[in-house]
Amino acid sequence: MADLYTVSDLRLGLPDMTRKPLFGAAPRIGILHGLSFSVPKGEVLGIVGGSGSGKSTLGRVLVRLLEPTGGRVLFDGQDISHLPEDRLRPLRRRFQMIFQDPMSSLNPRRRIGGIIAAPLQLHGFDRISARVDEALDHVGLPRAFRHRFPHELSGGQRQRVGIARAIAMRPDFILADEIVSGLDVSSQAQVLALLAELVRDLGLTLAFISHDLSVVRRLCTSTMVLHQGRIVEHRPTDALFAAPEADYTRELLDAIPLPDPDQRWDLAAG
């Protein structure tokens, strides 16, 4: 299948403000060091690695919240690595992000309907009210929830609103960065099962960043392991978990508490 993303020699440095001279630019610290990989359409890519390994930074480059300092990022064949904001604008609908903490990413003063509608309005969609209803249906929330405020919802319900807001845009790609980290185990399972179902039914491509390898094993078709801004291993999930090639991957796997390979959300079934 065709690639949605083709990334080559991606590098990113950020200014080190602690070493900025009085005059002139701050020296850069390398965060990502020459990453090359592709993401086929329909893939669920897990991105794992220790804290500070560059997972969120990589994600932010894929949805162009950050501009890389080197290399190329092709999205559906188009190099987006240095596109200016006005040229990115029409593409922004196509890559959406779901955030870790829905409480801080949902405007507390807006009702759920307004929250889901806002990006649709920004991108000039028609039939906005119907699209909001559809999105709520997709994530299994009652349509009447459009009148509620974020604080009236549970953590799991708020995360569903974040997902509804993203899928209402009919994106090709969704980046989910540690989206279930703040939830209890049963809400986690429900949100992940929902995500797997939506990926399958809506033909989405998903990048799922997580420090929880047992979740990645159950959800993702391929897994990329990052360490200090470099890819140490990137292979089909089953193969990687069955026989890790890199020492660092083995260390990460050894740290998983009792993985249960029989329990998985099957993306192919249904």
The span from the CA of 109 to the CA of 196, in Å, is 30
Least distance (Å) between residue 178 CB and ligand ADP: 8
Residue spans of beta strands (DSSP E) within 41-142? 44-48, 70-75, 78-79, 95-98
Q: How far apart are the first and last CA of the chain?
A: 21
Of 181 and 190, the one with the shorter C-beta distance to Mg ion is: 181
User: What does the alpha-carbon distance between residue 127 and residue 121 come to, in Å, rounded to a whole number?
Assistant: 10
In whole angstroms, how close is the CB of 228 to Mg ion at the nearest point?
Answer: 14
Site string for ligand ADP, 42-71 (x = CB under 6 A): -------x-xxxxxxx--------------
Which DSSP string corresponds to 134-164?
HHHHHTT--GGGGGS-GGGS-HHHHHHHHHH
Stretch that binds Mg ion, among 14-22, 50-58, 138-146, 254-262 (CB under 5 A): 50-58
From 8, 14, 30, 182, residue interacting with ligand ADP (rule: CB under 6 A): 14
237 binding Mg ion? (CB under 5 A): no
Please tell me the distance from the alpha carbon of residue 46 to that of residue 51, in angstroms, as a whole number.
15
The residue number with the shortest CB distance to Mg ion is: 56
Residue 113 near which of Mg ion, ligand ADP, none (CB within 5-8 Å, type-dependent): none
Let me know if 8 is exposed, middle or buried by CB neighbors in 10 A (0-12, 13-18, 19+). middle
Of ligand ADP, Mg ion, none, which one does residue 100 interact with (CB within 5 to 8 Å by kind)?
Answer: none
Helix (H, G, I), strand (E, B) or coil at 31: strand
Shorter beta-carbon distance to Mg ion: residue 30 or 40: 30
When the beta carbons of 164 and 220 are compared against ligand ADP, the nearer one is 220
Q: How far apart are CA 124 and CA 128, in angstroms?
A: 9
Asked whether position 56 contacts Mg ion by CB under 5 A, the answer is: yes
Nearer to ligand ADP (CB atom), residue 57 or residue 96: 57
Chain residues that interact with ligand ADP, rule: CB under 6 A: 14, 31, 49, 51-57
Q: List residues near Mg ion by CB under 5 A.
A: 55-56
